[in-house]
Amino acid sequence: MAENRKYLPLASTRRLEKLMTRYYFLTRYHRFWGKPLRRPLAWVTSGAPVELLRAFRIHPVYPENYGAICGTRRVSAQLCQVAEAAGYSQDLCSYARSHIGSILRPELAPMGGLPKPDLLVACNNICGTVLKWYEALARIFRVPLLVLDTPFLPGELTESAKSYVLEQLKHMADFLAHFTGRRLDRRELERHMALSKETVNLWKEIRGFCRAKPSPLNAPDLFIHMAPIVVLRGTPQAVHYYRLLRNEVNSRVQQGQGAVPGEKIRLVWDNIAIWYRIFGFFQMFSERGACFVTDTYSGGWVMELTEGDPLESLAATYTEIFLNRSPEFRARQMIELIKDYNADGFVMHSNRSCKPYSLVQEVIRRRVMQETGVPGLVVEADMADQRVFAEEPVRNRVQAFLETLSDI
C-alpha cells in the first residue's frame, strides 16, 4: 500500500492480503495449471454473471480490480499515458486506459500485467465503456468476446427485459459448453450461486454493523475489504473470509470501538474510491472526527440472488444492478442510507472516469438534500488517474463542508 492509515486497523487485513496474494499468484501462473486442468482464463467485467463462468470451471480475472490496484500503487497516470500515446482518449475511463497501458507496456505494470485471456466476458450493466474496451481487447488477443446486454431500467425490471437477458444467458451457457468441452452442471451452478448468496449476506451483515455509533468501519475499510466479493464471489474462500471479518467487526461493535476516534460526524460516500489517495483523502475527514459509515459503491455488491431457476435469478440480479437504474432509484437509495445510518451529510465523488455513476449526481444531490435536509458535497476527482486530483481545491471544499456541519 502506498499510504498508511491513520485510524484503527483491522486484524483481518492480514488475512485479506494473504487471500488476494494467493488469488493473484494463481492467476499469474495460470499458464502452468489452466491447460492441464482444462480451466480457461477469462477477463470479465465487475458486473458479469461470474457464477455461470465458475460452473464451467473458468478462472475469472477482473481488469477493473486490476485498475484499482494500479491506482493504489500510483502507476495509473503512467499507464494511462501509454494508452493515450497509442491513441486512446484522455476522456476514456482510467481503468480501461490503465489496463490497455499495462498490455502495451507490461514492464511498467504491477505484476507485469495480467496473464493473457482465453475468453472475454463483458456485461454493460455497469457502463457502456466496457463494450468498446473489451472489443479492443478482443482485437488485440483474438479471443472470443461474450457480451451480456442488460437493458437500462427506467423503472422496475419488466418481464420482457428479464426474458431478453435470460435468452442471452442460455446462449452464453451453450457457447461455454462448446468452448470448455463441459456440460452445464446445474448442481454446480446452484452451488456457486449459494456461495455467492452467502458471501453477499455476510457483506450485507458487515455493512449493517456500521449503523452503530460509533461506526466500526470507515469507507476505506469498505473499499479495501470489498476485494474478495468482487474477484472471489461464488467461492468458499470468500465465504470463509467474510465470516472472519464479520466476527471482528461484530466484536468492535460489542466493545463500542469506532473506526474514527471521537466520531462526531457521520457521512455517506457516493461513487468509486479515489484509489491513489485512499487514506490521505479520508484523513481530511477523520482528523475532524468525520467517519464515512456507508457508501453506494461497495454496497453495489449487496445484490441479492433471488430464489427459483438459477439462470432466471442471474438474469434478474445482474440487470437490477444500481448503476443500471434510474436517477430516482439512486436518489431513493441514498435517502434510505442517510436515514438508516443516521448520517449528517453525504459526499459525492464526481469521478471523471465513470460517466454513468457521475453524470446524474447533481440531480440526485438536490433531491436528497431536499428530502433529508442534510448537506451534500461534490468533489471532483478520478478513481485511478491522479493527474485529475487537485489537492488544494479539494481540501478547501472539504474543509468548508465540514465547517457547515460543525459549530463555528
Partner 1 sequence: MLNKYYLGIDIGSLTTKVVLVDDTGAVAARAADRSGYSGRRVAERLVEEILKEKGLDKKDISATVATGYGRVTFPADREISEITCQARGIAHLFPAARTVIDIGGQDSKVIKLLPGGKVADFAMNDKCAAGTGRFLEVMAGALEVRVEDLDDLAAQSGESCPISSICTVFAESEVISHIAAGRQKADIVAGVCASVAARVASLASRTGLEPEVVFTGGVARNKGVVNALAEHLRCRLLVPEEPEVTAALGAALLAGNIKV
**Binding footprint of partner 1 on the chain (CB under 8 A):** 362, 366, 369, 375, 378, 380, 390, 392-393, 396-397, 399-400, 403-404, 408
Shortest gap between Cβ of 286 and partner 1 (angstroms)? 18
Q: Which is nearer to partner 1, 163 or 404 (CB)?
A: 404
Q: How many CB atoms lie within 10 A of CB 123?
A: 27
Shortest gap between Cβ of 360 and partner 1 (angstroms)? 13
Amino acid present at 164: Y
Shortest gap between Cβ of 361 and partner 1 (angstroms)? 11
Q: 253 with 209: CB under 8 angstroms?
A: yes
Measured CA to CA, the distance from residue 158 to residue 163 in angstroms comes to 9
Q: How far is CA 160 from CA 134, 316, 319, in A?
A: 26, 11, 12
User: Pairing relation of β-strands 290-295 and 376-381?
Assistant: unpaired
SS3 272: coil
Report DSSP letters for 64-101, one per residue.
HHHHHHHHHTT-HHHHHHHHHHTT--TTS-HHHHHHHH
Q: Which three cell numbers stand for residue 162?
A: 428479464
DSSP state of 142: -
Q: Which is nearer to partner 1, 37 or 400 (CB)?
A: 400
Shortest gap between Cβ of 89 and partner 1 (angstroms)? 17
Task: Give the position of cell 454496497.
Answer: 299
Q: 268 with 375: CB under 8 angstroms?
A: no
Shortest gap between Cβ of 66 and partner 1 (angstroms)? 27
Q: Which is nearer to partner 1, 16 or 394 (CB)?
A: 394
Shortest gap between Cβ of 185 and partner 1 (angstroms)? 52
Q: Which is nearer to partner 1, 235 or 271 (CB)?
A: 271
Q: Which is nearer to partner 1, 325 or 352 (CB)?
A: 352
Q: Which three cell numbers stand for residue 387?
A: 493527474
Shortest gap between Cβ of 397 and partner 1 (angstroms)? 6
Q: Which is nearer to partner 1, 38 or 366 (CB)?
A: 366
